[in-house]
Structure 1
């Protein structure tokens, strides 16, 4: 079953998508996920008459890094190092990104005006259901300003402004039972592709993940708390799942960074396609200069 959020006749509603129509139901999609039950659908509306929105505005969005090939290529691109760090094999690492900058199908995605090394990231996201179960899956584009990311992560914290400006989800949530036939040893064998302006850039199998979604969600819940409706990104697939991976392998920016007007389409077998257009956000003012304090002098002053 495909569950969507959409705008129709001035209202934002949720419903079931099937056979070219959407059948609205009288419940918020977050409530549906929390209860784990789909209300009785109403009269159908042709899909072409609605505007699809991001299927969910999550309370939190954790993004993992579950593909060795991606780690290897991006590390070389970002900081010049090679290989996969040994710590990657210890546990499924993730970071929190901004749940307040979620874009949906067909939306324009504004990149920071100061960024020129603009990148997409092809991922699948699991949506948590009651009790840490998986309610369903959707496509995630974890947009990245690589030049900002490269600089800020030299502080050994982040990513921050290189990531928190935008994530895209869509086109809908496919319930977990729909994708069970694609499971092999706990992994979803789904083909994932990325296109820029109609040209295929990347293609990989989701089953190349190092951990299952179930393992990643259980790890996220360890010593912490997750709730129904939380979203968990798979991390970027390999073999062109993002441009930075290819830049690291090629030793040059080939293919080139995204530019304003570029159209990025991510397609995942069994789920659908998510398309967005890159635009440039508004200019921002320079920060005031930092106040530099010599650590040794500060320690000395505290002793007097």
Structure 2
């Protein structure tokens, strides 16, 4: 199944796409995490809608929102060449650290920063090196804790395109304290147009992931491309690690991390800081992942930062 959420006169509405990319609305008041939490409910609801509901607007005419509001967002690092490229911003001879192969490391991102596939993206306050990150996120469909990799595979409901916008100068500054990234990733994470259930990708399974082409463009100029099956860690591995000592729940997002050539900071590390300008107001960032759709967001001017000083309360 392919599920979208769109704006209507009655408020946000989930819909299932038919074979011609036309929306068929699901009953009002439903959200994706709730449907995923009850095994089989999403499929049954979509099947009933296909039989009984009228067809709506075509996908390219709908006012699309995020397919879901994730309760938590974990963003991993699974593409080794991306990891090495980022590290070269600090050390031109850096490679993939040994720790990359030991654990699928992640950081928590801000669920409040989730925005729609076509929403404007403000430049974060004080940021001068704004960037995008081309990723795919797995969506958790079943709660569980301390899962094995084999068990975790059954907890992944589907996938959505994921663009983690990043304030690189702020990120690198705060990480000198060996914390974060935090505020550098706090303004906008764009989710793709469509939530695609895992069974839709089964025929493209390859290696650790899926044989899907990924690409990102700025102002319709291609910046980078990769394949999703270049992930060194599988999505079930990410889910198992995320659940260790805690639990994952329906609607949680598990980002793949940026693919090779999927952001400017990696290209700056590999080719020098002048390789491509950072994002500026007016730029349009487009991401595309085969079978999963994508995003298209315009960068706009953001707010100025208010001064904050140590030891000053007012």
> TM above 0.5, one fold?
yes
- Aligned match of 2:16: 16
User: Is residue 78–residue 146 contact of structure 1 (8 Å, CA) maintained in 2?
Assistant: no
User: Is residue 103–residue 166 contact of structure 1 (8 Å, CA) maintained in 2?
Assistant: yes
User: Is residue 79–residue 150 contact of structure 1 (8 Å, CA) maintained in 2?
Assistant: no
Unaligned runs of 5+ in 2: 144-151
| Candidates 34, 45, 57, aligned match of 1:46 | 57
User: How far has the Cα of 1:273 moved from its partner?
Assistant: 2.1
Matches within 5 A, 1:282-297: 282-290=303-311
- 1:226 correspondence with 2:227: no
CA shift digits 1:19-41 (9 cap, x unpaired): 13111111322211112432021
- For residues 67 and 190 of structure 2, the distance between their equivalents in structure 1, rounded to whole angstroms, comes to 10
- For residues 61 and 111 of structure 1, the distance between their equivalents in structure 2, rounded to whole angstroms, comes to 21
* Corresponding pairs, count: 290
SS of the residue corresponding to residue 52 of structure 1 reads coil
User: Is residue 246–residue 254 contact of structure 1 (8 Å, CA) maintained in 2?
Assistant: yes
CA shift digits 1:195-215 (9 cap, x unpaired): 000000000011011111011
TM, length-normalised to structure 2: 0.89
SS of the residue corresponding to residue 77 of structure 1 reads coil
Deviating 4+ runs (over 6 angstroms): none
- Aligned match of 2:70: 58
- Aligned match of 2:176: 154
CA shift digits 1:175-231 (9 cap, x unpaired): 100011110234211110000000000000110111110111011101111111111
- For residues 179 and 95 of structure 1, the distance between their equivalents in structure 2, rounded to whole angstroms, comes to 26
- Aligned match of 1:273: 294
User: How far has the Cα of 1:113 moved from its partner?
Assistant: 3.2
CA shift digits 1:235-268 (9 cap, x unpaired): 0000x20001110111233111111111000000
User: Is residue 31–residue 68 contact of structure 2 (8 Å, CA) maintained in 1?
Assistant: no
| Candidates 177, 190, 205, aligned match of 2:227 | 205
User: How far has the Cα of 1:288 moved from its partner?
Assistant: 2.0
- 1:105 correspondence with 2:106: no
| Candidates 237, 243, 256, aligned match of 1:215 | 237
User: Is residue 113–residue 280 contact of structure 1 (8 Å, CA) maintained in 2?
Assistant: no
- Aligned match of 1:295: none
| Candidates 135, 138, 148, aligned match of 1:123 | 135
CA shift digits 1:8-63 (9 cap, x unpaired): 12411101022131111113222111124320212111135531001110100000
- For residues 10 and 90 of structure 2, the distance between their equivalents in structure 1, rounded to whole angstroms, comes to 44
SS of the residue corresponding to residue 275 of structure 1 reads strand
TM, length-normalised to structure 1: 0.92
SS of the residue corresponding to residue 185 of structure 2 reads coil
Unaligned runs of 5+ in 1: 292-304
Change (3 A) 1:114 1:81: farther
